[in-house]
Amino acid sequence: MKTIHMTDNLVFSEAAPSKQPLLSDQIGKIARLTLKKDQEVDEFHAPYQPHYYVVVSGEALFRSTSKNEEEKCGPGSLVVFAPKEQNAIIALSDEVVIISFFHWPSGG
């Protein structure tokens, strides 16, 4: 068993969003994104796998630029982007913490 506390040792940068790896193994990776208000995670897509985000604290705007959709999400929200779906995240709160889950193409 491994325990990871999602809000320990948070790092926020004034210059850009911060990404801290929490776990990486043969199946995929889990990372923590920390953003200050109005910071944006650039458009991203995974060509073969869905991408999952869980909002831990704060509010963020999740955009699917592929589908021309957006939704404001807060703590407890799970956001799923399909493979090849272009997406972006914009922080709406002073400090936003998001956990990102990504599976490797091999699937483990």
Q: 31-58: per-residue pLDDT in tens?
A: 999 999 999 997 666 677 888 999 999 9
Q: 16-28: per-residue pLDDT in tens?
A: 999 999 999 988 8
* CATH number, position 59: 2.60.120.10
Per the CB < 8 A criterion, the answer to whether 73 and 79 are in contact is yes
In a domain, 86, yes or no: yes
Which residue range is the domain that position 42 belongs to? 18-103
In a domain, 75, yes or no: yes
Task: State pTM to two decimals.
Answer: 0.90
- Count: domains in the chain: 1
Q: Which of 49, 50, 98, 44 is nearest to 73 (CA)?
A: 98
